[in-house]
Amino acid sequence: MREQLEGSQAVARTVARCRPRVVAAYPISPQTHIVERLSDLVRSGDLAPCEYLMVESEFGAMSACIGASAVGARTYTATASQGLLFMAEALFNVSGLGLPVVMTVANRAIGAPINIWNDHSDAMSQRDCGWVQLFAASNQEAVDLHVQAFVLAERLSSPVMVCMDGFVLTHAVEAIDVPDQAEVDAFVPPFVPRQMLDPTDPVTIGAMVGPEAFTEVKYLMHRRQQQALAEIPSIAADFAARFGRTSGGVVHPYRTDDADTVVVALGSALGSVCRVVDDLRAEGTSVGALGITCFRPWPEAEVRAALAGARHVVVLERAFSPGAGGIVGRDVRTSIGSRTPVVDAVVGLGGRPVSRATVRRVLEDVSAGRLTPDDLHFPDLRRDLIDSEPATRGGPRA
Amino acid sequence: MRETKLYQIGTFAVGNRLLDPEDRSAQASPDRANSITSGHRACQGCGEALGARYVLDAAMRAADGDVVVTNSTGCLEVFSTPYPESSWQIPWVHSLFGNGPAVAAGMAAGLRASGRTSTRVVGQAGDGGTVDIGFGCLSGMFERNDDVLFVCYDNQGYMNTGVQRSAATPPAARTANTGVIGDEPGNAFGQGKFVPLIAMAHEIPYVATATVADLHDLEDKVTRAMGMHGARYLHVLVPCPLGWAAAPAETIRLARLAVESGLFPVFEAEHGEVTAVTSIRGKVPVDDYLRLQGRYAHLFGDPGRPDLVARLQALADRNVVRFGLLDSDDGTQNASLGS
Ligand SMILES: Cc1ncc(C[n+]2csc(CCOP(=O)(O)OP(=O)(O)O)c2C)c(N)n1
Ligand code: SF4
Ligand SMILES: [Mg+2]
């Protein structure tokens, strides 16, 4: 049923309907509304049986998820930003152990300077931690991705992160269709763990592995991630068949077929990008958009196919690697080869809005040759602030 | 079963086959779980390997074999699970160095939510994994009163990484990063923490200390702890021949002398109050304990450091008074701590 709901409330209700047995979470903006609501649902008995652990830190949250998942319980947590970093050691452990934990990341910048607003630095910083990373373009997709994430995680025995833009999605109230309990039950089968701690069948989980077999463990992890690239579209297709709407998958191409220039984006910015595409198309400019839903594993073949006809590619980066360049752009370049120039444009850091005007300006600058593929660009940079920095403070001058 | 005549009596003897069957230790039983079996890579005389077997076999007996275990990174984890082998005959998971108590809390929550309420959770870690890097998670597990027995195997240092200092390393002890250098050689005085007291401050149902020297006492405490629910903490002194530079054959003697000197108080507490103290049967000077260990060798050479030995003696004497470790003439204990 479609209802006016805050994104966080919708996600919390959806997660509850996926029937996690253990929720362990530590509050951090902009994730708080999700975990507060889940606490209510557990306390009221609407989500039962479920244990809600109010842990002492995000490291504790993810570690409790490890324990719960190891005894065979479906397990969920949510975090953002500093909290995700505080979990970092445990994140690698979860994927290494192959535990199907599902986590929402309410994407937020990382300090210093401390900043609670949206960008993708948090998720990107954990790019290589072995989790599937799905990015929601809208609150409806965030809801739907959570349902799909539990299926995916448990099918692969691999953890899944559902990334949704902090505030822009988590705190936005809009009409959202939260699948009802019967629909979710029909879609998410009961959790059958691949292995678990059970006194009737003792196993050792998390042994020390030396040079003789470590590569093989990591290789299998890689293969499992590649398998996810096939599972994700198939789960999305099942979802579409049952729920009648398209959500998930690995990429969302939008009017790319005959597009001269394609803008690549992740998360909520995709909406603005598609609107600009429509506007520019109406004005006779040949542009398209490519939304990346699945950032890890990286859908190389799908990206290559979607960008096959493009003569220019622009990547909107919501995080970057200081001193090196764009993060998504590098993956795009590897996928399509040097034939097509790729412009990396860092926009919307620390909550600076990615407006339609911004996207439009970026595209105009690209077509005017002002943004070139050989540099990392910051199209929404405030030159006035940079220039007003007193020279006496030292450091680089821009 | 045939009665075996072995001249083992008294609480310090392993097995106690002369006792009535129901009073015998779990270790005396041929049916014990043998939770950690032979073939692991611990050093000769490793107190931690011994402690883990004692504790888990007792826990298995108390819970009818319905136990799941987590183990933080450290010697015990490393020497017991070199892939593709494992010494564990019970369900066992290792995650990280600093998260054992949180993993255990998650296990307890997962079991409860899954309706597997008879299955009990034991967490175990070295002193580093418990009192230092795992301390935040430990305190959280305590204050939530999660249904976990957490066991610290205290060998007074980071042994797995080559014998560095932890917050449980005693003063004056030489470690790889508290060298015999300067005016105060070895670990500094006036630092460190005794986590059993901090555990008590959480007012959890049960806190106890024990050593591998007194099997019956250790098993009794495990059994008592397993008979309760909520957060329980057991801090077991486990001598480490390698880290302490002591002879492997002295492990039990060292654990006993740590107690008999007063340096390691053995007691129990419930809900924040001390309920029982193991009194010292024949108090020994700290020298007797220290001289057996190369980590204190710098205190005894020529010229030696009698001043530092005296400071250690003062710490032992303080424990004696504080915990009432000596029976007074009228048979009552004189503790300044607890009831
Ligand atoms: C986050 C992290 N920091 C450091 C280490 C290295 N490390 C592994 S075991 C260990 C010391 C273990 O000491 P303790 O817990 O006392 O166990 P022991 O080996 O003495 O039994 C250290 C420092 C690690 N594995 N993880
Ligand atoms: S170093 Fe110490 S704790 Fe580690 S295995 Fe050897 S004796 Fe046991
Ligand atoms: Mg230690």
CATH number at residue A262: 3.40.50.920
Q: Is residue A395 part of a domain?
A: no
Query: Which of the four pLDDT bands, split at 50, 70 and 90, describes residue B20?
Result: confident
Q: Is residue B11 part of a domain?
A: no
Q: What percentage of chain B exceeds 90 in pLDDT?
A: 86
Report how far residue B25's alpha carbon sits from residue B13's, in angstroms, rounded to the nearest whole number: 10
Contact B279, B328 (CB under 8 A): no
Q: Is residue A50 part of a domain?
A: yes
How high is the ipTM of this complex?
Answer: 0.96
In angstroms, what separates the C-alpha of A87 from chain B's closest C-alpha? 11
Domain count, chain A: 2
CATH number at residue B243: 3.40.50.970
Identify the pLDDT of residue A175: 97
Q: Which residue in chain A is spatially nearest to B99 when comparing CA positions?
A: A63
Q: What would the pLDDT profile of A291-305 be if each residue is shown by its tens digit?
A: 999 999 999 999 999
Q: Within this chain, do residues A160 and A125 fall inside the same structural domain, yes or no?
A: yes
Nearest to A55 among B68, B111, B140 (CB): B140
Ligand 2 contacts (CB < 6 A) are B 42-43, 46, 48, 75, 79, 155, 159, 240-243
Q: Within this chain, do residues A109 and A235 fall inside the same structural domain, yes or no?
A: yes
Q: Which residue in chain A is spatially nearest to B91 when comparing CA positions?
A: A202
Q: Which residue in chain A is spatially nearest to B112 when comparing CA positions?
A: A51
Identify the pLDDT of residue A398: 56
Nearest to A207 among B83, B103, B119 (CB): B83
In angstroms, what separates the C-alpha of A317 from chain B's closest C-alpha? 33
State the ligand closest to the CA atom of B97: 1
Average pLDDT over residues A144-149: 98
Q: Is residue B252 part of a domain?
A: yes
In angstroms, what separates the C-alpha of A195 from chain B's closest C-alpha? 11
Exposure string over B24-63, b if 16+ CB within 10 A, otherwise e:
bbbbbeeebbbbbeeebebbebbbbbbbbbbbbbbbbbbb
Handedness of CA A327, A331, A334, A335 (dihedral sign): negative
Residue B185 has pLDDT above 70, yes or no: yes
**Which residue did the predictor score with more confidence, B24 or A107?**
A107
Identify the pLDDT of residue B8: 45
Q: Is residue A113 part of a domain?
A: yes
Identify the pLDDT of residue B338: 47
Which strands make up the sheet holding A342-346, listed edge to edge? Answer: A251-254, A287-292, A261-265, A312-317, A342-346, A376-377
Domain count, chain B: 1
**Torsion region of A298: left, alpha or beta (phi above 0 gives left; psi -120 to 50 gives alpha):** beta
Cα of B51 vs centre of ligand 2, distance in Å, is: 12
Report how far residue B31's alpha carbon sits from residue B58's, in angstroms, rounded to the nearest whole number: 12
Query: Which of the four pLDDT bands, split at 50, 70 and 90, describes residue A1?
Result: confident
Q: How far is CA A19 from the centre of its chain?
A: 22
The torsion angle over the Cα atoms of residues A383, A352, A350 and A369, rounded to 10 degrees, is -60
Average pLDDT over residues A3-30: 98
Amino acid present at B69: V
Q: Which domain holds residue B151?
A: 16-338
Q: Within this chain, do residues A90 and A137 fall inside the same structural domain, yes or no?
A: yes
Q: Within this chain, do residues A260 and A230 fall inside the same structural domain, yes or no?
A: no
* Chain B residue numbers touching A73 (CB-CB < 8 A): 109-111, 113-114
Identify the pLDDT of residue A396: 62
Q: Within this chain, do residues A234 and A260 fall inside the same structural domain, yes or no?
A: no
Q: What would the pLDDT profile of B208-249 be if each residue is shown by its tens digit?
A: 999 999 999 999 999 999 999 999 999 999 999 999 999 999
Q: How far is CA A110 from the centre of its chain?
A: 15
Average pLDDT over residues A183-203: 97
Report how far residue A109's alpha carbon sits from residue A350's, in angstroms, rounded to the nearest whole number: 5
In angstroms, what separates the C-alpha of B90 from chain A's closest C-alpha? 5
Q: Is residue A121 part of a domain?
A: yes
Angle value at C-alpha A85, between A83 and A91, nearest 5 degrees: 100
Query: Which of the four pLDDT bands, split at 50, 70 and 90, describes residue B23?
Result: confident
Q: Within this chain, do residues A29 and A155 fall inside the same structural domain, yes or no?
A: yes
Average pLDDT over residues A8-23: 98
**Torsion region of A180: left, alpha or beta (phi above 0 gives left; psi -120 to 50 gives alpha):** beta
Handedness of CA A177, A178, A183, A186 (dihedral sign): positive
Contact A154, A192 (CB under 8 A): yes
Report how far residue A11's alpha carbon sits from residue A165's, in angstroms, rounded to the nearest whole number: 13
Q: Within this chain, do residues A215 and A283 fall inside the same structural domain, yes or no?
A: no
Report how far residue A181's alpha carbon sits from residue A178's, in angstroms, rounded to the nearest whole number: 9
Contact B90, B35 (CB under 8 A): yes
* Chain B residue numbers touching A129 (CB-CB < 8 A): none
Preceding omega of B170 cis (within 30 degrees of 0)? no
Contact B79, B101 (CB under 8 A): no
Identify the pLDDT of residue B207: 98
Identify the pLDDT of residue B15: 57
Structure tokens belonging to residue A305: 């196919």
- What is the average pLDDT value for chain B, to the nearest integer? 93
Identify the pLDDT of residue A390: 65
Cα of B129 vs centre of ligand 1, distance in Å, is: 6
Using a CB–CB cut-off of 8 Å, the residues of A that contact B are 21-22, 24, 49-51, 53-57, 59-61, 63-73, 75, 89-90, 93, 97, 197-199, 201-210, 212-213
Lowest mean pLDDT among A151-160, A185-194, A386-395: A386-395
Average pLDDT over residues A258-267: 97
Residue for token digits 């006779």?
A284
Identify the pLDDT of residue A395: 63
Residue A101's SS3 state is coil
Q: What would the pLDDT profile of A232-250 be if each residue is shown by its tens digit?
A: 999 999 999 999 999 999 9
Cα of B127 vs centre of ligand 1, distance in Å, is: 9
Q: How far is CA B33 from the centre of its chain?
A: 20
State the ligand closest to the CA atom of B76: 1
Identify the pLDDT of residue B330: 43
Residue B21 has pLDDT above 90, yes or no: no
Q: Within this chain, do residues A177 and A319 fall inside the same structural domain, yes or no?
A: no
Q: Is residue B1 part of a domain?
A: no
* Chain A residue numbers touching B105 (CB-CB < 8 A): 53, 55, 60, 64, 67
Q: Which residue in chain A is spatially nearest to B120 when comparing CA positions?
A: A199
Choose from A47, A86, A204, A214 for mutation: most chain B CBs within 10 A: A204
Identify which of B50, B101, B59, B44 has the alpha carbon closest to the alpha carbon of residue B220.
Answer: B59
Average pLDDT over residues B89-112: 98
Lowest mean pLDDT among A380-389, B35-44, B265-274: A380-389
**Helix pair angle (A58-70, B135-143), 10° resolution:** 70
Structure tokens belonging to residue A319: 């995080």
Amino acid present at B212: V
Choose from A38, A50, A56, A77 for mutation: most chain B CBs within 10 A: A56
Q: Is residue A262 part of a domain?
A: yes
Average pLDDT over residues A155-163: 98
Residue B167 has pLDDT above 90, yes or no: yes
Q: Is residue B9 part of a domain?
A: no
Identify the pLDDT of residue B22: 81
Q: Within this chain, do residues A72 and A140 fall inside the same structural domain, yes or no?
A: yes
Identify the pLDDT of residue B5: 43
Q: Is residue B151 part of a domain?
A: yes
Q: Is residue A56 part of a domain?
A: yes
CATH number at residue A148: 3.40.50.970
Q: Which domain holds residue A6?
A: 2-194+206-243
Q: What percentage of chain A exceeds 90 in pLDDT?
A: 96
Pocket test for ligand 2, best of B50, B169, B240 (most atoms within 8 A of CB): B240
Q: Is residue B272 part of a domain?
A: yes
Q: Which residue in chain B is spatially nearest to A195 when comparing CA positions?
A: B91
Residue for token digits 């860092």?
A346
Residue B149's SS3 state is strand
In angstroms, what separates the C-alpha of A210 from chain B's closest C-alpha? 7
Q: Is residue A228 part of a domain?
A: yes
Q: What would the pLDDT profile of B289-322 be if each residue is shown by its tens digit?
A: 999 999 999 999 888 999 999 999 999 999 999 9
Pocket test for ligand 2, best of B242, B251, B252, B254 (most atoms within 8 A of CB): B242
Residue A137 has pLDDT above 80, yes or no: yes
Pairing of strands B206-211, B267-270: antiparallel
Q: CB neighbours (10 Å) of residue B83?
A: 14
Q: Within this chain, do residues A269 and A238 fall inside the same structural domain, yes or no?
A: no
Q: Is residue A201 part of a domain?
A: no
Question: pTM, whole model, 2 decimals?
Answer: 0.95
Write the residue with the smallest CA distance to atom 2 of ligand 2.
Answer: B240
Q: Do A59 and B98 touch (CB under 8 A)?
A: yes
Identify the pLDDT of residue B29: 87
Q: Within this chain, do residues A264 and A125 fall inside the same structural domain, yes or no?
A: no
Q: Within this chain, do residues A214 and A291 fall inside the same structural domain, yes or no?
A: no
Q: Is residue B4 part of a domain?
A: no
